[in-house]
Structure 1
Amino acid sequence: MSFYVSLSGLKGAQADLSAISNNVANVNSTAFKKSKAQFGDIFAAAPMQTTHQVAGQGVRIQGIAQQFTQGTIETTDKTLDLAITGEGFFTVKGEDGTVSYTRNGAFAVDNDRFAVDTTGARIQVFPVNPDTGALSPAPTASTGPGDLADLNIPTTLKGEADGAQLTSVGVSKEGLVSAIYADGSTVYLGQVAMASFNSLEGLRQQGDAHWTSTVASGNPILGTANEGMFGAVNSGSLERANVDITEELVSLISAQRNFQANAKAIETANQLTQTIVNLRS
C-alpha cells in the first residue's frame, strides 16, 4: 500500500511542478494569470472501523485554479494599449463570431480599420451618440454580447472620402473612445464594454489570456469602466503577468523536494519489501 501512497505523492508533486513551470514560462506574457495546484487527502475506512488506527491513502489533485489578482501596469505610450486597473475583462469577438473575454489590452487597427487584439478578435463597444458620447441605449441587466458593436476607427471624418483626416485617438478612464480630425471635430466612436462574472474560477481558459464563459462562471455581466464593479481603463498601458518570479522559484524548490521525498519513500518501501522476501534465503 505504501507504494501507491507515495506514487500519488509523486503525481501530486509533478502536477505542482507543471503549474509552477507554466507560471515561470509565462512571466512575460501580457495579462497572464498564474495558476496554483490544489490538493486534498485520500482517506477510506469501513463504516465500523476505528479511524484512529487507519492511515491515509495518499493525495489527490482537486484542481488547478487560476489566481485573478492584479498584475503590474506597464506604460507603453500607445493609445490603443489598454490596461484595466481593478475588476473586469475586455469583451472581444473572433472572426468566427465567438465571444471571449481578456485582460490583454494590446489592441491595434487592422486593414479594415477595426480595433483588434493579438489574436485578431475585435474589441466590442457600446454604441454611443457620436456628438455627445452618451450611451444609446444605456446597458441594463439584460444587455448581452449581441447588443455590442465592433470598434471602427475611420481615417476620415464620418468615413467620407473628402472628409477631414484623422489626427489622433483617445480613450478615457471610462473607456469612451474619441477621434479627433484635422478640422478640429471630435467624434465619439463607442464605449469599451467591460464584463464581469459571478465565478471567475468557472471561466474556461482559451490561451493568449482569453477566457470564455461556462455554466460554472455564469453569464457575463456587462457594464462600463470605472463604475460599480468594473475597474478603470488606462490608455497607453498594458497589464503584465501577475507572476512573482521569486515566489515561484521558492515554490519550485519546495515542489522538487516534495517529489524527492516521495521518491525516497518508494525506495525505502522497496528495500523493506526486499528484506522480507529474502528472510527465507
Structure 2
Amino acid sequence: MGFSQGLSGLSAAAKALDVVGNNIANSQTVGFKAGSIAFADVFAGSMGLGVQATGVGQDFTNGDIIGGNSNLDMGINGRGFFRMENADGSVFYGRNGQFEEDENGFIINKTNNMFLTGYQATDGVINPGAQVGPIRIPKDDMPPAASTKGAVTGNLKSDDKLIPSAPGFDATNPDTYNYVSEVTATDSLGNAHAIKVYYVHTKEGQWQVHAQDSTSPGKFTKATLKFGPDGNLMTPVTLDIAGKKYNGSDPLALKLDLNITQFSSDTEVKLDTIDGQAPGKFSRFEISDTGEVVAIYSNTKRQTLAQVVLADFANPGGLEQQGSNLWAETVQSGQAFLGTSNTGSFGKINGGMLEASNVNLGDEMVNMILYQRNYQSNSQTIKTQSEVLQTLVNLR
C-alpha cells in the first residue's frame, strides 16, 4: 500500500513541476495565462490510496500592459478575448495581441496566422447587427463624392451697424453687407467650390443672407434670419445653393444649415460639418482604443473599415487549450458572447500596446521548491517501505 501511495505522490509532484516549468518557460510569452494544478486524495473504503492530479486550471487575471512594436499591436486590459478564424472558418480565441498584415491586407496573428475578426463597416459606419468577419485593410484610393449637405455655426454681432436696403446688396461692394463667410464644397469630380455667404444686418434682430457658388456661379440664394430675444433663431434656416457644371462635373447642389446665434460677442461664422470629398490616396491606418480600424487618406478624410470584436464566456476556465496561446469554446465554457472595447463587461483595447504574461516568477520559484520537496518526501516513503519489506524478508 505504501508503494502505491508514494508512487501517486511522485506522479502528482512531477505533474506539478511540469506546470511550474511551463509557466516559467512562458513568462515572456505575450498574453500567456499561468496554469495551476489541482490535487485530490484517493480513497478505497476507509483507506487512503494516495493522491491524484485532477486537472490544470488557468489564471485569467490580467497581465501588465506594455509597449508594443507595431501600430497593429493590441492589448486587452480587462475581460475578453480576441476572436480569430483560420482558413477553414474555425473559430479560436486568444489574448496575444501581436498582429500584422498578410499579403492580401488581412490582419493576422503573428504566432499562428489566424485572421482577426471584427464588425464590418458599411460606407464607413458600423451599423447595429453588422456582420462579423476577418478584418481587411484595402489600399484602394478614395473616390470623389459631391457635397450635398453641410452646416455652419457661429454668431452675428447683435449691435453691428444697420445697412439700409435702399442701395441693394452687391457682392462686389463691401458697404452693402456686414460680413462674409466661406465654405469649401466638392463636386462630383472632386473639384473644390468656394461657397460664399454674405450677411446683411437690416433690422434689429433681423439679417438677410445671400449665398452663391463663386467657383461656378449660379443665382444667389437669399434667406432671412430672425432672432428672438434669447439670441437664437426663431425658425431654422437652410440655404439651397445651386452651382453650374464645372470642368465636366454635375452642377453642385448643396443644402447648407445655418446654426447661428445673435449675441453681443463678435461676429464669426465657420464651417461645422460638410459631406463629400476630393479623391484621396490611401496614406495609412490606425487602430483606436475602441478597436476601430480607420483608414486615413491624402485628402485628410478618415474612413472606418471595421471594429475589432471581443468575445467573453460565462466560464472562461472551461475553455479548451489549443496551443499557440489559443483556446476553443466548449460546453463547460458556454457559448461566446460578443461585444466591443470598453462596453459592458468587456475590457479596453489599448492600441499600440500588448498584454504581458501574467506569470509571477517569484511565486513560481517558491512553488518549484515546494513541489521538489514534495517529490523528495514521496520518494523517501517508497525507500522506507522498501526497507521495511527487506527487513521482513530477512526474518529467520
CA distance in 2: counterparts of 1:92 and 1:102, whole angstroms? 8
Partner of 2:67: 75
SS in 1 for 2:93: strand
Mark the runs of 5 or more structure 1 residues left unpaired by the alignment. 46-53, 140-146
SS in 2 for 1:257: helix
Q: Sort the Cα spacing of 1:115 and 1:264 in 2 relative to 1 into closer, same or farther, 3 A.
A: same
Q: Deviations over 1:98-123 (max 9, x none)?
A: 11111111111111011111211111
| Residues 156 and 181 in structure 1, CA contact (< 8 A), matched pair in contact too | no
SS in 2 for 1:97: coil
Q: Which of 113, 122, 143 is residue 120 of structure 1 equivalent to?
A: 113
Kindly indicate whether residue 5 of structure 2 is the aligned counterpart of residue 5 of structure 1: yes
CA distance in 1: counterparts of 2:313 and 2:143, whole angstroms? 36
Which of 165-174 and 102-111 deviates more? 165-174
CA distance in 2: counterparts of 1:77 and 1:271, whole angstroms? 61
CA distance in 2: counterparts of 1:88 and 1:31, whole angstroms? 12
Residue 129 of structure 1 and its aligned partner are, at CA, apart by 3.8
Q: How does 1:66-145 map to 2 (within 5 A)?
A: 66-118=58-110, 119-131=112-124, 133=125, 135-138=126-129
| Residues 74 and 353 in structure 2, CA contact (< 8 A), matched pair in contact too | yes
| Residues 171 and 235 in structure 1, CA contact (< 8 A), matched pair in contact too | yes
Q: Sort the Cα spacing of 1:158 and 1:277 in 2 relative to 1 into closer, same or farther, 3 A.
A: farther
Normalising by structure 1, we get a TM-score of 0.88
Residue 72 of structure 1 and its aligned partner are, at CA, apart by 1.2
Aligned-residue Cα RMSD (Å) equals 1.7
Residue 215 of structure 1 and its aligned partner are, at CA, apart by 1.4
Kindly indicate whether residue 141 of structure 2 is the aligned counterpart of residue 148 of structure 1: no
CA distance in 2: counterparts of 1:56 and 1:128, whole angstroms? 62
Mark the runs of 5 or more structure 2 residues left unpaired by the alignment. 145-278
Q: How does 1:234-273 map to 2 (within 5 A)?
A: 234-273=350-389
Letter in 1 for 2:359: V
Q: How does 1:204-219 map to 2 (within 5 A)?
A: 204-219=320-335
CA distance in 1: counterparts of 2:69 and 2:101, whole angstroms? 16
Partner of 2:53: 61
Residue 75 of structure 1 and its aligned partner are, at CA, apart by 0.5
CA distance in 2: counterparts of 1:254 and 1:234, whole angstroms? 38
Aligned length: 261
Q: How does 1:151-230 map to 2 (within 5 A)?
A: 151-158=135-142, 164-230=280-346
Q: Which has the higher helix share?
A: 1
CA distance in 1: counterparts of 2:306 and 2:343, whole angstroms? 16
Q: Sort the Cα spacing of 1:171 and 1:243 in 2 relative to 1 into closer, same or farther, 3 A.
A: same
Mark the structure with the bigger radius of gyration: 2
CA distance in 2: counterparts of 1:70 and 1:184, whole angstroms? 37
Normalising by structure 2, we get a TM-score of 0.63
| Residues 95 and 120 in structure 1, CA contact (< 8 A), matched pair in contact too | no
CA distance in 1: counterparts of 2:87 and 2:336, whole angstroms? 20
CA distance in 2: counterparts of 1:68 and 1:96, whole angstroms? 28
Q: Which has the higher strand share?
A: 2
Which of 120-129 and 59-68 deviates more? 120-129
| Residues 176 and 188 in structure 1, CA contact (< 8 A), matched pair in contact too | yes
SS in 1 for 2:289: coil
Work out the percentage of aligned pairs sharing the same amino acid: 37
CA distance in 2: counterparts of 1:279 and 1:252, whole angstroms? 41
CA distance in 2: counterparts of 1:169 and 1:184, whole angstroms? 12
| Residues 156 and 164 in structure 1, CA contact (< 8 A), matched pair in contact too | no
SS in 2 for 1:57: strand
CA distance in 2: counterparts of 1:102 and 1:165, whole angstroms? 34
| Residues 118 and 306 in structure 2, CA contact (< 8 A), matched pair in contact too | yes
Residue 78 of structure 1 and its aligned partner are, at CA, apart by 2.0
Q: Sort the Cα spacing of 1:172 and 1:197 in 2 relative to 1 into closer, same or farther, 3 A.
A: same
Q: Sort the Cα spacing of 1:38 and 1:191 in 2 relative to 1 into closer, same or farther, 3 A.
A: same
SS in 2 for 1:29: coil
Letter in 1 for 2:98: A
Partner of 1:49: none
SS in 2 for 1:5: helix
TM superposition outliers: structure 1 runs of 4+ over 6 Å: none
| Residues 37 and 63 in structure 1, CA contact (< 8 A), matched pair in contact too | yes
| Residues 39 and 59 in structure 1, CA contact (< 8 A), matched pair in contact too | yes
Residue 209 of structure 1 and its aligned partner are, at CA, apart by 1.1
Q: Sort the Cα spacing of 1:159 and 1:238 in 2 relative to 1 into closer, same or farther, 3 A.
A: farther
SS in 2 for 1:87: coil
CA distance in 2: counterparts of 1:138 and 1:227, whole angstroms? 16
Letter in 2 for 1:150: P
SS in 1 for 2:48: coil
Partner of 2:240: none
CA distance in 2: counterparts of 1:23 and 1:166, whole angstroms? 43
